[in-house]
Every structure is written in structure tokens, then in C-alpha cells.
Amino acid sequence: MPPALPSEYPDAAQLFAVAGVALLLAACGPAPQGGFHGFPPAAVTTLVLQPGTLPVSYEYVGQTAGSKEVEVRARVTGILEKRLFAEGAAVKAGQPLFVIDRKPLEAQSAAADAEVARARAQLTQAEREVARLKPLAERRAIGQKEADDAVSNAELARATVKVAEARLAEVNLSLGYTRVSAPITGLSSRANKSEGSLVNANETLLTMIWQVDPIWVPFNVSENDRLRLERAVAAGRLVLPKDNAYDVTVRLSDGSAFPRKGRINFSDTRVNPATGTYEMRAEIANADGALKPGQFVRVALKGAVRNNALAVPQVAVQDGPQGKFVYVTGKDKDGKDIAVVRPIVLGDWVEVDSANLWIVESGLASGDTVIVDGIAKLQPGGAIALGGAGPGGPGGAPPAATPPAKDMGNGKTAPPGKDAPPAKDGATATPAPKR
């Protein structure tokens, strides 16, 4: 029995009665027709998965470097007098770059030359002494020791001449180093010292030169990635190019592809203990100098093949609290089509016929029907209206959705394409980053 209402609210009883009648009618009335929670079934497009062979590529971050990188250092100590090149310009091997003050070394050269002359004079004197004493020694007019000492003095004088000549050659060599030339052909850097600065032999860095044709692109492959590839190869799921004969493509910072292909010219067999990665290096022809040392690029390696792979379009993959998932078609207890959540584990990202696909490592099987369009309106277990389906091998574009017939309100329906709403919901999927 409901509680009595105060007399000052005469209409309250009527309100309770109306509400009770409404609830009774709702409970006894027919169940709402349609999809999830009374919504009409969502129009979707599906794709039947079939295994096939897929080309796969791998992409890594790299930084360009010269195939030869030379530090141009001062080889003699002195004052830097002139810079003979334009900073940052291309230089040729043997081209003069700097001039260091020659005067101190010219003085040393003159002194060394005089020392050579003195040593040669002493040698001449010693040889004359040997020539004078030799006949006397043969006639035993002098002692043998005196003759032997004369021969020894001549040999010492000859050695002194060689020492003096070597010293002169050393000074003259240093004198030549006062004119610093480019050891290789390439691009120069800025001059680290200006005219009038003191430079020290073998210490002062004057500039850098990079040989950019060909140019190198070192990059690193993580240990986990390499182990994953090796396991896939051992299991027969993946075939890699023999001897690292990848087709190398470089993408610049603006996303554009460099027009010339490259090749792998080095692959390290050890793990760098500092980074935990394997180092690899690509080589690219760069005669026009379009690539400069130090550019950050993305290196795409093509040529690997996945066997018996299942792939789904990127737009079909969703993110959930437990990870990635897709919707597949299923049946409810009444035999109606519904959307079923299927968790999946993804592998490599591939691009086939301009379609972005993800290889599925687990969670799906051949023959599964994946929903690829109309996903924005789906709910787990919600009713769906199949607008289009068909076999779709890896890389196959999903068929277009068939628009549902529109209710005209008079018991008739409009044929698809005439005043019928589009099947697609207009939602766009945010592309996932490439792996």
C-alpha cells in the first residue's frame, strides 16, 4: 500500500497512477526491433581472410655520413697565414687549403743544410787520412792501430753525413707541410682557426672534409628485432634476401623518397654493448651531392617475403584496454549476424598496391570474416547488416559496401543509390605508426 499523500498535493496521486500505467504498458508491449540496445543494425563491409605470400619491408632511422671523413690537422707548429678555400665548398684532392708561416722552418732548413756541408767536409778529411796512411801501413812504417783508427774515423764521418742529410730532409718535409692541401675530394667544413692563430703540430684541427659520393647511411637494428627475424626465418615464415641484397630506399625528413636506390655494404656480427643493437650500413650513389652528411633519414629495406601470411587492412585494427583487436562476424542465438571482438597479435607493417596492411601473427585464421568498414558504429555483440563481402587475400582491397534500403515511411523502400544514405559512416582511422 503506497503511503498517504498530504491533502495539499491533490494531483500527486494522479501522477503516480499515470506513471504506473506507463510502466505496465512498457513491460507488456512488444520488444523493440533492430540492433544493439534498439539501434538499427550497422551497415558494414567485410573481408574474408586467405593466406598468401606478402612482400615485407623494414624501416629504421639512420644518419648520413661521408664514405670518407678526414680531419685536416696542422702537421707543423706556426702561425696560420692564409685560408685558400671557401668554407663549405667542394674541394679536390691536392687543392691548397691553408698556408702556415714558413720563416722559422726556412731558417731551420738553412742550418740543417750547413750541417750537411760540415759533415761532408769531415768525411772528405777522414778519407784523405785513410788514403795517406794505407801505404805506410802496408810497409809497416806505422802501427796497425793508427791505420785502423783512420778507417774508423772515416766511417764515423760517413755516418755523420747521413744523419745531417736526414735532418735536412725532415726539415724540408716540415717546410712542405706549411702548405696544407686537401687529402681527398669532397665537401669541406668551416675553418676552425682564423688567420693569425697559432696552430700546433698534430693537434690543431683546421677543418673537416667528407667524401659524399658514394654516401653512407649507418643505422642500427635492435637485438629484439634481429632475434624475431631469425626465429621467423628458422620457422620458414620469412625469407630474407641472400647476402643482405636488400633494395634500399631512403626517405628524407619531409617524407619524400630519395630517387636513387642503395645497397647494404656492411652488417656487423656483434652487438654494440653501449646500445644493444647491431650496426648496419647502406651505400647510395650521390654524385650530385644531393645528400649531405649528418642528415637524419629513414632507411627502408625491401626484398624480404612472408610466406602463408594473413593480413588485415590497417583501418580494421582497433585499440582496446587489452591491446589490438578487430571485429569479426558471428551469429547470435537467433542466427542473426553480430559483431564479435577478436584480440589479435600484429606483426610487420606492409604496403601492397597502395593499401596499408598489418600482418597478423595470431588471433585470426584463414576463412575468418573481418569487418573493415562501418566500424565506428559497432558494439561488441551488436547486430550488423552485411553490405558487402568476398574473398580477400593478403593485400586485396575490401569490396565496397552496399548501402541499405531506405524506409520511405509508407511500407515501401527506396532502392540503393536513390535517396539512400551512404553506407560509410564517415569516420576515418588514424594511421598507426610504421613498425
pLDDT at 142: 87
| Same domain as 318, residue 274 | no
Compare 31 and 383 and report the one with higher pLDDT: 383
| Same domain as 330, residue 277 | no
| Same domain as 314, residue 397 | yes
Quote the percentage of the chain above a pLDDT of 90: 69
d(CA 75, CA 77): 7
Q: Which tens digit of pLDDT belongs to each residue from 162-181?
A: 999 999 999 999 999 999 99
The dihedral through the CA atoms of 145, 146, 151, 153 has a sign that is positive
Compare 285 and 33 and report the one with higher pLDDT: 285
Q: Which tens digit of pLDDT belongs to each residue from 205-258?
A: 999 999 999 999 999 999 999 999 999 999 999 999 999 999 999 999 999 999
- Is 379 inside any structural domain? yes
Q: How confident is the model at residue 315 (pLDDT cuts 50, 70, 90)?
A: very high
Q: How much is the CA Rg of the chain, to the nearest whole Å?
A: 43
| Same domain as 343, residue 294 | no
pLDDT at 431: 39
Average of per-residue pLDDT across 264-288: 95
Q: Which tens digit of pLDDT belongs to each residue from 45-65?
A: 999 999 999 999 899 999 999
| Same domain as 284, residue 366 | no
Average of per-residue pLDDT across 373-380: 89
Q: Which tens digit of pLDDT belongs to each residue from 77-128?
A: 999 999 999 999 999 999 999 999 999 999 999 999 999 999 999 999 999 9
Q: Which tens digit of pLDDT belongs to each residue from 186-211?
A: 999 999 999 999 999 999 999 999 99
Q: Is the pLDDT of residue 21 over 70?
A: no
Average of per-residue pLDDT across 351-371: 90
Average of per-residue pLDDT across 278-306: 95
| Same domain as 63, residue 127 | no
Amino acid at position 341, single letter: V
Q: How confident is the model at residue 393 (pLDDT cuts 50, 70, 90)?
A: low
Q: Is the pLDDT of residue 348 over 60?
A: yes
Domain that includes residue 266, residue range: 57-67+213-307
Any idea what the CATH number is for the domain that residue 392 is in? Answer: 2.40.420.20
Q: Is the pLDDT of residue 41 over 50?
A: yes
Q: How confident is the model at residue 15 (pLDDT cuts 50, 70, 90)?
A: very low
| Same domain as 331, residue 302 | no
Q: Is the pLDDT of residue 8 over 50?
A: no
- Is 138 inside any structural domain? yes
Any idea what the CATH number is for the domain that residue 272 is in? Answer: 2.40.30.170
- Is 147 inside any structural domain? yes
* 80, three cell numbers: 696560420
| Same domain as 333, residue 407 | yes
| Same domain as 407, residue 317 | yes
Any idea what the CATH number is for the domain that residue 148 is in? Answer: 1.10.287.470
pLDDT at 162: 97
The angle formed by the CA atoms of residues 15, 19 and 20, to the nearest 5 degrees, is 115
pLDDT at 10: 45
| Same domain as 298, residue 249 | yes
Domain final position from 267, 285, 307? 307
pLDDT at 422: 39
Q: Is the pLDDT of residue 379 over 90?
A: no
Quote the percentage of the chain above a pLDDT of 70: 80
Mean per-residue pLDDT of the chain: 83
Q: Is the pLDDT of residue 338 over 70?
A: yes
Domain final position from 131, 151, 176? 176
The dihedral through the CA atoms of 110, 111, 116, 117 has a sign that is positive
The number of folded domains in the chain is 3
Q: Is the pLDDT of residue 34 over 60?
A: no
Q: Is the pLDDT of residue 337 over 50?
A: yes
- Is 201 inside any structural domain? no
| Same domain as 165, residue 106 | yes
E runs forming strands in 171-322: 179-181, 186-188, 198-199, 205-222, 238-239, 247-251, 262-267, 277-284, 296-309, 311-313, 318-320
Average of per-residue pLDDT across 351-363: 87
pLDDT at 118: 96
Q: How far is CA 316 from the centre of its chain?
A: 28
Task: With CA atoms as reference, report the closest residue to 371 among 345, 235, 382, 362.
Answer: 382
| Same domain as 296, residue 319 | no
- Is 61 inside any structural domain? yes
Domain final position from 280, 307, 334? 307
Q: Is the pLDDT of residue 159 over 90?
A: yes
Q: Which tens digit of pLDDT belongs to each residue from 122-153?
A: 999 999 999 999 898 888 888 889 999 999 99
Task: With CA atoms as reference, report the closest residue to 154 among 117, 104, 199, 119.
Answer: 119
- Is 426 inside any structural domain? no
- Is 41 inside any structural domain? yes
- Is 14 inside any structural domain? no
pLDDT at 387: 76
